[in-house]
Structure formats: C-alpha cells, structure tokens
C-alpha cells in the first residue's frame, strides 16, 4: 500500500550495503573532506575523524542491539511494551515494584539508544501513537487521504513548495515516490488539525519519521501524537506562540544551567531564538546528523518535550569555552551550526544532556511555561497593534 514496501527495502538496503569506510592513510594525512552516506541514506560531509566516529557509532548500535535481545530473553518478548511500563515514567507512584524496576531499566536503556530495527515498534507504542490510532476506525488514514485528494489550500501550496526542498538528494525522500508519500502525510495532517495546517519544519520531521517507521500510516500517527501530546501546544499554529514560549523558557534555563554563557551572550545581544527556533521546530532533524537526531527522539518519545531543553542546553554547554571568547553574534551562530552538524556521536551529546545538565522535571518546566505565556501573548499582541497602526497611518495618507 502506498508503495511503502519498496521504500522499506531501499532503506534496509542502505543499512546492509554501506561498507565500513576505511579512510586511506593518504586521506588521513591530507585531512580531506569526504562525502559518504550515513545509516539512513543521508549524504554527509565530514573529515576522516567524522568517518571514524560514525564507524564506532555503527559498532555501538550493534552492541546495544545485543543488550536489548538479552533483556528480551530474560524478561520476555516485548516486555517494554506492557502498558504499566510504557507509562511508567508518568505513573511512578502507582506502580508495583517489579514494574517500577522495569520502567527504570527501560529509561536507562532508551537513553543508551533503541536499536534501529526496534524503533518503529517501540516508538509507536511508547509515544502513545498506537493508543491514539486505536481510538479511531482502522480506515481513518485511508479515508482521510482519499477525502483530501486534489484539494488546494494555503497549506497544500506551501507543502508543494517544500517537498523538493526537504532533504534534497536523499535517495528515497527525493524521488517522485518519496515526495508523494511525504505529501500525503503532511496534507492529511493539515486537514486533521486546521489550526496547525502546515508549518515549515514539519516537512523535515515527517520525512525522518517516514524513514524510520514501517508504514506511511504509522508515520502519520507519530506526527499526530507528537503535535497533539508530546510537544507543548501551539508550537506550530499560526503565530507559533508555543514555540515563542519554549524559546523564553530555554533562555531562562540557560541562565540557570550555564550562567557564564548566558551572561556573555546577553552582552553580545545574542538571542537564543536565532538558533533554537530551528532546533525546536525541526526537533533537531535539520541540524544534527540522522542517528544523533533519532537518539534524541528515542528519549523524546519516552520522557517528553523537556528532552529538547536538555539537548539544546547540552549543545551550548559542550562549546562553553569557545562561546565565551566570541565577540559577535555571527561567531556564536557559526560555532553552534558547526557543532551540531558534526555531532556524529550521539552518546557524547546525550551524556552531557542528561549527566552534566542535571535533572529538570516536567513539572518545573510546565510551571516555567505558564509563567512565560502571558509575556508571549502580550508581545504578539503588541506586534499586531504596531502593524495595525502602520496600516491606519497609510490609509490616512
């Protein structure tokens, strides 16, 4: 159905066919920039060190797979999908001891990474997408895509502009079949939630979901659960107010967790939104290498939207010394862009994100969001008033 099968074959092919890259001594000496394909078929440009890191990551992924199989052997198949564990994080207090122990094991395990072959199953269940899908008739997605076929809206027009501009050059996403599949998911969602419609950035998120999930329909439900349950409300709606709120919360967290950086950046008049807007709207998919992004998403789907703050703070934290000697906003942006593009080792990032940044509860973050909401609303309101007053001036002239 929808040609997803051939897509799967294609992406599986990549994973088995890509040879381990062994850079020659000459390449090492020259420190050449090389182009290669990563696990998910993305072309990556990097130096020899990057290639080596990616090879190590591949090996670690294999090892992590063995850990999961061993646990499955001792705890039973699909132990991690039992509802009491899947919801374990949220319901810690009401759990039986054995379930609690399992939930803690699972949390640790997920932070170390879900093996790529298990991702579709684990994400679908732990994120709540399976539950969401089960509340509507089986034919929902099919009916939806059929019903909206051929309709033209501002959302569909924007989607059509963005299809060829979403991961261009990717061997499956950037084909007529890839475009058509991504289009159905995005257009379908734009009709499911007309407040969101389509927001730029979702194209990257949905594209990566398509590469991971087994079917187009599952990718659609992952997108739905992300926007409707996992992320903060109104991140993608018409004035991106939820995204504004996240930026402000992030700014406060940076002041708390990385005060030296925050003070320095304040002096440069650097606003975190210059880099973090893209991070939060694309969930890092446009900035980080694919496996690193997916590792962030592994945790995101189990622990919730606070994970985005952990990761964003970690990126700043990792470059603290370099950031402290910048003199200009542009230098800051350059350092952060360069850093994210080269974060080929997910563990390096996630270790900082969770061990060095320290814990932040979903509760505290919710409180901070509540605190920021009125300010964001006032700011958006003020902007509209300024724009309207300009219009009045023009009409009078």
Nearer to other proteins, 168 or 358 (CB): 168
DSSP assignment of 144-210, as one string?
Answer: HHHHHTT---HHHHHHHHHGGGSSTT-TTTTSHHHHHHHHHHHHHHHHH-TTT---TTHHHHHHHHH
User: Could you say which residues in the range 26-65 bind other proteins, by CB under 8 A?
Assistant: none
The answer to the question of residue 174 lying near other proteins (CB under 8 A) is yes
Which DSSP letter does residue 319 get? T
Nearer to other proteins, 98 or 389 (CB): 389
Which of 281, 283, 311, 352 touches other proteins by CB under 8 A?
A: 281
Nearer to other proteins, 15 or 255 (CB): 255
Specify the 3-state DSSP secondary structure of 21. coil
The answer to the question of residue 237 lying near other proteins (CB under 8 A) is yes
- In whole angstroms, the minimum distance from the beta carbon of 43 to other proteins comes to 11
φ/ψ of residue 361, rounded to 5: -85, 155
Residues that contact other proteins, how many (by CB under 8 A): 43
Which DSSP letter does residue 295 get? H
Q: Which stretch binds other proteins (CB under 8 A): 61-69, 161-169, 177-185, 343-351?
A: 161-169
Q: Which stretch binds other proteins (CB under 8 A): 6-14, 62-70, 197-205, 289-297?
A: 197-205
Q: Which stretch binds other proteins (CB under 8 A): 94-102, 193-201, 217-225, 304-312?
A: 193-201
DSSP assignment of 370-397, as one string?
Answer: HHHHHHHHHHHHHHHHHHHHHHHHHHH-
- In whole angstroms, the minimum distance from the beta carbon of 324 to other proteins comes to 13
φ/ψ of residue 34, rounded to 5: -120, 155
Burial 324-361 (b: 16+ CB within 10 A, else e): eebeeeeebeebbeebbebbbbbbebbebbbeebeebe
Task: Say if strands 43-46 and 34-37 run parallel, antiparallel, or are unpaired.
Answer: antiparallel
The answer to the question of residue 338 lying near other proteins (CB under 8 A) is no
The answer to the question of residue 255 lying near other proteins (CB under 8 A) is no
Nearer to other proteins, 42 or 221 (CB): 42
Q: Which residues bind other proteins (CB under 8 A)?
A: 158, 161-162, 164-169, 174, 199-201, 203-204, 237-240, 243-244, 269, 271, 273-275, 277-279, 281-282, 286, 327-330, 333, 380, 383, 386-387, 390-391
């Amino acid at each position: 159905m929808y040609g997803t099968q051939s897509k799967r074959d294609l992406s599986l092919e990549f994973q088995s066919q890509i040879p381990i890259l062994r850079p020659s001594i000459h390449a090492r000496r020259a420190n050449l920039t090389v182009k290669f394909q990563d696990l998910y078929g993305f072309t990556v440009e990097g130096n020899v060190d990057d290639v080596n890191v990616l090879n190590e990551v591949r090996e670690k992924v294999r090892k992590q797979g063995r850990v999961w199989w061993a646990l499955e052997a001792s705890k039973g198949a699909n132990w991690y999908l039992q509802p009491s564990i899947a919801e374990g994080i949220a319901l810690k207090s009401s759990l039986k001891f054995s379930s609690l122990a399992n939930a803690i094991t699972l949390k640790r395990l997920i932070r170390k990474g879900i093996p790529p072959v298990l991702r579709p199953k684990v994400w679908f269940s732990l994120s709540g997408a399976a539950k969401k899908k089960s509340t509507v008739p089986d034919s929902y997605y099919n009916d939806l895509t059929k019903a909206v076929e051929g309709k033209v809206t501002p959302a569909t027009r924007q989607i059509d502009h963005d299809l060829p501009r979403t991961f261009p050059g990717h061997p499956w996403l950037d084909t007529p079949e890839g475009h058509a599949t991504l289009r159905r998911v995005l257009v379908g969602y734009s009709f499911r939630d007309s407040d969101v419609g389509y927001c730029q950035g979702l194209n990257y998120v949905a594209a990566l979901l398509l590469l991971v999930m087994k079917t187009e329909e599952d990718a659609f439900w992952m997108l739905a659960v992300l926007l409707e349950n996992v992320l903060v409300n109104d991140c993608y709606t018409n004035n991106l107010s939820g995204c504004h709120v996240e930026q402000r919360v992030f700014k406060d967290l940076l002041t708390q967790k990385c005060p030296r950086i925050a003070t320095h950046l304040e002096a440069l008049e650097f606003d975190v939104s210059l880099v973090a807007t893209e991070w939060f709207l694309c969930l890092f998919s446009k900035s980080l290498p694919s496996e690193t992004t997916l590792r962030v998403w592994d945790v995101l789907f189990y622990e919730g939207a606070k994970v985005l703050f952990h990761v964003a703070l970690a990126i700043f934290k990792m470059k603290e010394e370099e950031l402290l000697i910048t003199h200009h906003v542009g230098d800051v942006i350059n350092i952060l862009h360069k850093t994210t593009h080269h974060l080929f080792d997910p563990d390096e990032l996630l270790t900082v994100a969770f061990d060095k940044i320290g814990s932040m509860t979903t509760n505290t973050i919710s409180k901070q969001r509540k605190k920021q909401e009125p300010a964001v609303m006032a700011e958006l309101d003020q902007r509209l008033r300024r724009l309207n007053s300009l219009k009045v001036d023009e009409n009078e002239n």
